[in-house]
């Protein structure tokens, strides 16, 4: 028997939750005090909860198992909410531990008192306030089971301070891994018939279905049937580059996605939703599946996508097909004056084998998929839920999960500022992250969207809302101020040299590149 | 007739909501496009929603009327939640405008789709998703009424994109100001009798009851009856300094607050809650009213505190009493090596007439009330809800509300990092804010709390969670990187010179002071 906090930590590490991204307060002090009783638990301090939750997201995408977060009451959970939203949309497992006041203290409506569960429900498939020290370890196991899925989910365990400090707890045994369902033989036959019928067809892959094993199966199916392969717009984790099958991502802009999907008669969903427009626009369709196209859900997010696809491979007699894979093919390093496109080209030219890219370059990263298509094998992590401020924290988490692999955070300026505190954790943990900061000194994507939503005229006050020049942000000073060695590069040659140095040296680096926005402001 | 966004803006400005703190995304682009149709509306861009909501809080505390915020869906509201929590606890009016997807788009569960209302309820007394363009202006008026109170509240109006872009709207007329209830004659008589009875008694003033008019009435009552005057621990806005009555704040630490309250037989609440401990601790009481003390609520937060107190003054025949007010009395400027105490002393020595102090100095500000007690008249704004990261945004809002008054943001290092993006808005708007950054390179308050919660032993991993030295934050670089002229001072003489320069020059300044933590870490 021990106190709640110690039993909780033992339960977490025994179940494989061995990393915790933290931003604690007073109500979490027993959890903090107990950390030294669980040597297997790595506690990574962050200066802001959005860093903690985004890092937990990045960690789980790469580690394949959840990290915990440690957050302070409703305010702390609120600060972490945007990146929990992204994790939810990306089907990424996270176990939140949110401290709360002691149970007998709640009645007094003290300053930090709020209804934590209401906030948690926005992002969590599973929410529970632990009622007693004796039940805490079991609650933790239930949280881990809920989070692990499939699909991965956000589970939020609210931990009253007295449940944490109370005595009489014991750790709980780790959960048995789930055995997710697979597609029925009938469904596989139906899909096989649809794909063999000679009508235009495509597989849309998302979630867990963009890893090597599933991609290889999908490629065999594509070769056997002529079906196209598409990836969802914002993949949670896409394995790509030399030696891997090629899958085309659906475009962000609905007009382009519609062009990709035009004429399809069958769309087979594998851990993906039927395609829809990211935002709605006056007079434009939200649902992008063409009229007359039949949608087949071969594997729902709750299912085992790989086994389901393998069954389809068997029915199609495609198991012996040699997958068509991407050949190694890099662009030349760019030269001269820098543009966003040339920065992407430089990444393609220099990306090391086994790199992890966290892509929140927004409009500046438009040509990144093109320039890196033939780069050495790498993982691409994108902005799954659209709540910006995810790129830097995800890079933190990916680097913690994969200490041997170089991480590149391709980061837009506007988005960077939501969770800029990530830089400090990179420095503190000496993470091997190279931040490439595309500073176009505007909310460039909104310059485009302002036109697309049909706003007819843009006055000076409106234009000013998208402008980040007054003052311009100096990311070299900001980065150095948080302990990350930071430089600004003025041309492509300097960029190449800075990237090579960042790859060669351990620990984090920040490279600021001032680039023109790809969208000219209207103002 | 016009579109929803334009009618909404016209309705807001006609009702006196003439400032909007913004961080828009695509779903808010029609609101942004409409800004130029409402010249009375000042739109203040922030880089992070927690800055926008905290600024709206600071603005309303000083302006006495709500500002609006403009936030982007559930993620944006989440990012702003902690400071909305603080506003809620401080009874500060805020009108949130939270953009949402178009109503016909919600069904598709797109990446940014989430249940915004669940998040909003954590902080908002009033939540409504506007159902149609025709109803939008009326919804806005209802939001303003709900926010304005008393008490001031957070009202959240969720604005679907199509409601914003739809045609057929017209502005609504401004609401009629509310007439809040006053204490009944019976209640006033009961309280008068209690205060006259000769037993130890005190008035506890909070919320709106810490402004000059109410303080003068309270002081007369105190003089007439011998009752003590206490202010709540964390005042929303306390008018203090030379020429104003003196009111003693209840202590943050329950042990000290209990000592202040010991022996009381009557406690009269004026827009304040009965005192409770901020956090719960093992084996300690949460409720701090002594046994045998009768609590009288003379004015609830819904009531007119001033008129209620004036009625008590009349019954006590105290109207002619000359209030006892603080005399001007400043400390000498400090000299030599700097400590947190000396920084507070320097503030007391130099504070200009009419200054506004946003105090989030945490442990470093412990002696601030002492050193500034006899300073020229000023306003003190504190951390009402305990969710840190409020000080800098509140300073932004106060400076926007009071362009002629110098604002001092006394800011702890750990807390500063939650909403450090505030500095950029200070620079962009050239606000007259002097940030004094107490950098003790630790979460010092947690070093204390870790001991107070009874955590028996502190190992190296636990101690590391409270340590901000690896790496140390360089606020001079961070501040300069966001466009705020920033300096570090090494002794008291440099501090005095830097403060004098900051006061003399317009626009924002940051002064970093590296000070020892007042709590030695245990690690």
Strands (E), B223-365: 228-231, 238-240, 248-249, 266-270, 294-299, 355-360
Closest-CA distance, B441 to chain A, in angstroms, reads 12
Q: Do A474 and B457 touch (CB under 8 A)?
A: no
Q: Is the separation of the CB atoms in A427 and A44 below 8 Å?
A: no
- Convert the pLDDT of each residue in A108-132 to its tens digit: 889 999 999 999 999 999 999 999 9
Tell me the pLDDT band of B178, cut-offs 50, 70 and 90.
Answer: confident
Report chain A residues whose CB lies below 8 A from the CB of B22.
465
Q: Is the separation of the CB atoms in B372 and B361 below 8 Å?
A: no
User: Does residue A251 have a pLDDT over 80?
Assistant: yes
How many contacts does A have with B, using Cβ atoms within 8 A? 333
Question: Chain B residue with minimal CA distance to A25?
Answer: B446
Mutate: best of B91, B414, B453, partner A, most A CBs <10 A: B453
- Of residues A456 and B352, which shows the higher confidence score? B352
Closest in B29, B43, B119 to A446, CB measured: B29
The pLDDT, as a whole number, for residue B280 is 87
Residues A241-265: b if buried by 16+ CB within 10 A, e if exposed: bbebbbbebbbbebeebbebbeebe
Distance (Å, rounded) from C-alpha B219 to C-alpha B228?
9
The pLDDT, as a whole number, for residue B522 is 42
A465: nearest Cα among B204, B216, B21, B68: B21
Is pTM beyond 0.95? Reply is yes
The pLDDT, as a whole number, for residue B354 is 98
- Convert the pLDDT of each residue in B43-98 to its tens digit: 999 999 999 999 999 999 999 999 999 999 999 999 999 999 999 999 999 999 99
Closest in B279, B421, B482 to A27, CB measured: B279
User: Does residue B521 have a pLDDT over 60?
Assistant: no
The pLDDT, as a whole number, for residue B523 is 38
Q: What is the DSSP letter of B469?
A: B
- Convert the pLDDT of each residue in A349-379 to its tens digit: 999 999 999 999 999 999 999 999 999 999 9
Report chain A residues whose CB lies below 8 A from the CB of B26.
279, 445-446, 449, 452-453
User: Does residue B445 have a pLDDT over 90?
Assistant: no
The pLDDT, as a whole number, for residue B449 is 83
Closest-CA distance, B518 to chain A, in angstroms, reads 17
Average pLDDT of the residues of chain B: 96
Q: Do A74 and B81 touch (CB under 8 A)?
A: yes
Closest in B81, B450, B477 to A480, CB measured: B477
Report chain B residues whose CB lies below 8 A from the CB of A461.
35-36, 43
Lowest mean pLDDT among A12-16, A174-178, B294-298, B476-480: A174-178
The pLDDT, as a whole number, for residue B454 is 66
Instruction: Report percent pLDDT > 90 for chain B.
Output: 92
Distance (Å, rounded) from C-alpha A254 to C-alpha B268?
63
**Residue A447: C-alpha distances to residues A440, B29, B429 (Å):** 12, 9, 21
Closest in B27, B234, B465 to A24, CB measured: B465
Question: Chain A residue with minimal CA distance to B162?
Answer: A282
Q: Do A446 and B108 touch (CB under 8 A)?
A: no
Task: List A511's β-bridge partners, or say none.
Answer: A436, A487
Q: Do A101 and B421 touch (CB under 8 A)?
A: no
Closest-CA distance, A79 to chain B, in angstroms, reads 5
- What is the sign of the dihedral through the CA atoms of A142, A144, A146 and A148? negative
Neighbours of B346 (CB within 10 A): 27
The pLDDT, as a whole number, for residue A93 is 98
- Give me the sheet containing A201-205, strands edge to edge: A248-249, A228-231, A201-205, A266-270, A294-299
Q: What share of chain A is helix, strand, coil (3-state, %, to 5)?
A: 40, 20, 40
Q: Is the separation of the CB atoms in B367 and B361 below 8 Å?
A: no
What 3-state DSSP class applies to B382? strand
Closest-CA distance, A101 to chain B, in angstroms, reads 7
The pLDDT, as a whole number, for residue A456 is 64
Report chain B residues whose CB lies below 8 A from the CB of A481.
473-479, 481
The pLDDT, as a whole number, for residue A522 is 43
User: Does residue B34 have a pLDDT over 90?
Assistant: yes
User: Does residue B378 have a pLDDT over 80?
Assistant: yes
DSSP structure string for A421-467: THHHHHHHTT--EEEEEEE-SB-HHHHHHHHHTT-----HHHHHTTB
Q: Do B111 and A26 touch (CB under 8 A)?
A: no
Rounded to the nearest 5°, which phi and psi values hold at B396? -55, -50
Question: Chain A residue with minimal CA distance to B465?
Answer: A45
Mean pLDDT, range A194-220, rounded to an integer: 97
Distance (Å, rounded) from C-alpha B389 to C-alpha B377?
26
Question: Chain A residue with minimal CA distance to B23?
Answer: A465
Mutate: best of A6, A81, A249, partner B, most B CBs <10 A: A81
Closest-CA distance, A115 to chain B, in angstroms, reads 6
Tell me the pLDDT band of A471, cut-offs 50, 70 and 90.
Answer: very high
Q: Is the separation of the CB atoms in B112 and B103 below 8 Å?
A: no
Q: Do B277 and A109 touch (CB under 8 A)?
A: no
Q: Do B473 and A465 touch (CB under 8 A)?
A: no
Specify the DSSP element, H or E, that contains A315: helix A305-315
DSSP structure string for A370-422: HHHTTSSSEEEE--SS--SS-HHHHHHHHHHH-TTS-EEEEEEHHHHTTSTTH
The pLDDT, as a whole number, for residue A262 is 97
The pLDDT, as a whole number, for residue B520 is 60
The pLDDT, as a whole number, for residue B283 is 83
| A238-240 and A378-381 beta bridge pairing | antiparallel
Closest-CA distance, A478 to chain B, in angstroms, reads 4
ipTM: 0.97
Q: What is the DSSP letter of A325?
A: B
Mean pLDDT, range A311-333, rounded to an integer: 97
Q: Is the separation of the CB atoms in A479 and B437 below 8 Å?
A: no
Tell me the pLDDT band of A158, cut-offs 50, 70 and 90.
Answer: very high
- Give me the sheet containing B19-22, strands edge to edge: B42-45, B19-22, B67-72, B94-100, B154-160, B126-129
Specify the DSSP element, H or E, that contains A98: strand A94-100
Q: Is the separation of the CB atoms in A228 and A222 below 8 Å?
A: yes
Closest in B48, B287, B449 to A417, CB measured: B48
Task: List A486's β-bridge partners, or say none.
Answer: A510
**Residue A3: C-alpha distances to residues A26, A41, A103, A238, A433 (Å):** 17, 17, 16, 42, 38
Mutate: best of A32, A254, A522, partner B, most B CBs <10 A: A32
Mutate: best of B387, B457, B460, partner A, most A CBs <10 A: B387
Mean pLDDT, range B318-345, rounded to an integer: 97
The pLDDT, as a whole number, for residue A452 is 76
Q: Do A30 and B278 touch (CB under 8 A)?
A: no
Distance (Å, rounded) from C-alpha A101 to C-alpha A155?
19
């Amino acid at each position: 028997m021990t106190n709640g906090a110690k039993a909780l930590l033992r339960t977490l590490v025994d179940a494989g939750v061995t990393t915790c991204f933290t931003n604690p307060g007073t109500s979490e002090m027993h959890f903090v005090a107990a950390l030294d009783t669980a040597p297997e638990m790595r506690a990574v301090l962050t200066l802001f909860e959005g860093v903690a939750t985004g890092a937990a997201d990045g960690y789980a995408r790469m580690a394949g198992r959840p990290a915990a977060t440690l957050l302070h009451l409703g305010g702390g959970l609120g600060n972490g909410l945007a990146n929990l939203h992204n994790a939810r949309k990306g089907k990424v497992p996270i176990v939140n531990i949110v401290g709360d006041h002691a149970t007998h203290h709640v009645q007094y409506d003290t300053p930090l008192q709020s209804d934590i569960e209401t906030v948690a429900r926005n992002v969590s498939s599973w929410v529970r306030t632990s009622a007693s020290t004796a039940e805490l370890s079991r609650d933790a196991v239930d949280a881990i089971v809920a989070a692990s899925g499939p699909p991965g989910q956000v589970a939020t365990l609210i931990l009253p301070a007295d449940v944490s400090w109370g005595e009489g707890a014991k750790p709980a045994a780790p959960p048995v891994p789930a055995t997710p369902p697979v597609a029925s033989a009938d469904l596989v036959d139906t899909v096989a018939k649809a794909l063999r019928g000679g009508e235009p067809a495509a597989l849309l892959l998302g979630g867990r279905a963009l890893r090597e094993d599933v991609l290889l199966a999908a490629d065999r199916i594509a070769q056997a049937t002529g079906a196209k392969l598409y990836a969802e717009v914002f993949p949670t984790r896409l394995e790509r580059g030399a030696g891997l099958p090629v899958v085309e991502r659906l475009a962000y802009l609905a007009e382009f996605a519609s062009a990709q999907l035009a004429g399809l008669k069958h769309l087979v969903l594998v851990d993906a939703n039927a395609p829809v427009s990211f935002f709605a626009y006056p007079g434009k369709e939200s649902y992008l599946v063409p009229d007359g196209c039949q949608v087949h859900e071969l594997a729902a997010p709750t299912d085992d996508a790989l086994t389901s696809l393998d069954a389809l491979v068997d029915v199609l007699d495609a198991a012996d097909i040699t997958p068509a894979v991407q050949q190694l093919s890099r662009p030349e390093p760019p030269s001269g004056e820098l543009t966003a496109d040339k920065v992407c080209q430089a990444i393609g030219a220099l990306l090391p084998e086994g790199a992890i890219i966290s892509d929140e370059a927004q409009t500046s990263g438009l040509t990144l998929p093109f320039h890196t298509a033939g780069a050495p094998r790498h993982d691409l992590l994108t902005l799954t839920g659209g709540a910006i401020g995810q790129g830097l924290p995800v890079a933190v988490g990916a680097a913690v999960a994969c200490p041997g692999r170089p991480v590149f955070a391709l980061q837009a300026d506007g988005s960077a500022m939501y969770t800029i505190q990530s830089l400090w954790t990179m420095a503190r943990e000496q993470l091997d992250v190279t931040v490439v900061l595309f500073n176009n000194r505007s909310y460039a994507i909104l310059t485009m969207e302002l036109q697309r939503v049909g706003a007819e005229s843009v006055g000076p006050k409106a234009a000013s809302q998208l402008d980040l020049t007054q003052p311009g942000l100096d990311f070299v000073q900001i980065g150095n101020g948080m302990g990350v060695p930071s430089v600004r590069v003025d041309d492509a040659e300097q960029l190449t040299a800075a990237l090579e140095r960042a790859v060669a040296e351990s620990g984090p680096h920040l490279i600021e590149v001032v680039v023109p926005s790809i969208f000219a402001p209207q103002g």
